[in-house]
Amino acid sequence: MPNSKTTTCQINATRLYSSLETLGQIGRYTDAETGLQGVCRLALSAEDGEGRRLVLSWMRELGLEVTVDRIGNVYARRSGLRPDLAPVMVGSHIDSVPTAGRFDGCLGVLGGLEIVRTLNERGTETQRPVVVAFFTDEEGCRFGTDMLGSAVATGRLALEQAYDLRDREGLRLGDELEKIGFLGQADEKVAAPYAYLECHVEQGPILGAKRVDIGVVTGVQAISWQALTILGKSAHAGATPMNLRADAGLAASRINVQLRAMIASGEYGEMRATMGCIAPQPGLVNIVPGRVEATVDLRNPSDLHMRKSEQDLLAFYEQVQSEEKVEIRWRQTARTEAVAFSPSLQQRIAEAAQGAGLSHQPIIAGAGHDAQEFARICPSAMVFVPGEYDGISHNPREFSTQQQCANGIHVMFEVLLQLANEIAF
């Protein structure tokens, strides 16, 4: 059915969608449970190599000048009338989690190429160069560090440190990069772009539930991960009196319930907390667990609230240790500060959406994205598009419609065109 919103759309929605489908064929598998087609293109796997080569071929077809840097990030440049000016960069990633759909990351990259295709077709020249980029191992599933390529490019992570990361099989990242043919020559430190833009699927239910077309991303939440080992004493479930137990399982449960109570208290702002792994040992019906391995995932848009929640949680560990006669060992496995995106770019995104008759609202990013790395070196912003099925992502059911994808890239196109034609921000 024709949608009045499409009349102002600057980009070719069908062509964009079909490029997403074509890339989604690489690393495809059939999900045994649902029969749906999923995508598995783990970073630096053979499938990632194949996906990369396909996208590179499209970049070259568009006449872009392609550069591969020493961490395997790929930059495709369309020259400007003033090639001396810093480029406007559009980017994201094409690696995936093991059970992915075809939109996460790919929309941002292939959307960038669709923008270039549109500029080429119309013979539109811009003052500034336009660069479409994809970054190595955004997902972090294989080597344990997410936003790896963009973190190296923007100086948060040292190149040698990144090369020496190993996957579960002990394979070294630097070697794997070479194996798929993407150990490039270019300096891994990227020169600061004029601005960085990224379009991404929301990966959450908010926009879809409200039928909002465009999420204007305000920033990325602070993330804090802990790995816990709780040591108690294994004991017979029938023979050991309750007052003589050191139940590691109970201690883990108390921490989980405490997290929920902290959220309910309202003292920690927009805190989110998850214990995604709670593994009691020996894990048998009639044995008090003597040991639990567990994880804690904390998210918060405010660094202040995040720090308070971390401090109070550690104090609670002390309390549980003494009350339950257990030992709680913890280590930080990930920690990133909250990132605020450029207010000026957010405003432009909202205006571009408005101009196209698209509904929009501010939204915080729940997951990590390459844009947060670029926010350290240049004005950066993100556009979210809604996903169907409650915005499920990292799952074969991940799905955004052709219209939803096109809406997001249209907004990017409008903002990019403004930025690429101005001399000063």
> Measured from the CB atom, is 38 or 105 closer to Zn ion?
105
Name the H helices within 269-368.
303-324, 343-355
Encoding tokens for residue 239?
């023979």
Encoding tokens for residue 143?
């080597």
Check: CB of residue 157 under 8 Å from CB of residue 370: no
DSSP class of residue 34?
T
By CB under 5 A, how many residues form the interface with Zn ion? Answer: 2
Secondary structure element (H or E) that encloses residue 206, with its range: helix 206-210
- The closest of 74, 59, 76, 344 to 195, measured between CA atoms, is 344
> Measured from the CB atom, is 105 or 208 closer to Zn ion?
105
d(Cα 335, Cα 347) in Å, to the nearest integer? 29
Helix (H, G, I), strand (E, B) or coil at 359: coil
Q: How far is the CB of 135 from Zn ion (least distance, A)?
A: 10
Measured in residues, the chain has a length of: 425
Strands (E) across 164-213 are located at 195-201
Contacts with 1 (C-beta within 8 Å, 6 or more apart), sequence order = none
Q: How far is the CB of 350 from Zn ion (least distance, A)?
A: 22
Q: How far is the CB of 200 from Zn ion (least distance, A)?
A: 6
Report which residue type is found at 217.
Answer: V
Check: CB of residue 208 under 8 Å from CB of residue 390: yes
Q: Which of residues 101-130 bind Zn ion (CB under 5 A)?
A: 104-105
> Measured from the CB atom, is 149 or 249 closer to Zn ion?
149
> Measured from the CB atom, is 202 or 247 closer to Zn ion?
202
Name the H helices within 266-302.
none
Q: How far is the CB of 104 from Zn ion (least distance, A)?
A: 4
Q: How far is the CB of 109 from Zn ion (least distance, A)?
A: 10
Q: How far is the CB of 79 from Zn ion (least distance, A)?
A: 28
Q: How far is the CB of 44 from Zn ion (least distance, A)?
A: 16
Q: What would the DSSP string read from start to end of 399-412?
A: ---HHHHHHHHHHH
Report which residue type is found at 168.
Answer: R
- The closest of 188, 184, 181, 56 to 110, measured between CA atoms, is 56
Check: CB of residue 88 under 8 Å from CB of residue 75: no
> Measured from the CB atom, is 10 or 203 closer to Zn ion?
203
> Measured from the CB atom, is 94 or 222 closer to Zn ion?
94
Q: How far is the CB of 102 from Zn ion (least distance, A)?
A: 12
Answer yes or no whether residue 219 interacts with Zn ion by CB under 5 A: no
Residue of this chain nearest to Zn ion (CB atom): 105
Q: How far is the CB of 91 from Zn ion (least distance, A)?
A: 11
> 């080992």: which residue's tokens?
229
Residue 131: phi and psi, rounded to 5, are -120, 130
> Measured from the CB atom, is 246 or 365 closer to Zn ion?
365
> Measured from the CB atom, is 144 or 357 closer to Zn ion?
144
Site string for Zn ion, 86-105 (x = CB under 5 A): ------------------xx
> 């309390």: which residue's tokens?
319
d(Cα 413, Cα 380) in Å, to the nearest integer? 15
> Measured from the CB atom, is 39 or 250 closer to Zn ion?
39
> Measured from the CB atom, is 288 or 381 closer to Zn ion?
381
Q: How far is the CB of 249 from Zn ion (least distance, A)?
A: 35
List residues near Zn ion by CB under 5 A: 104-105
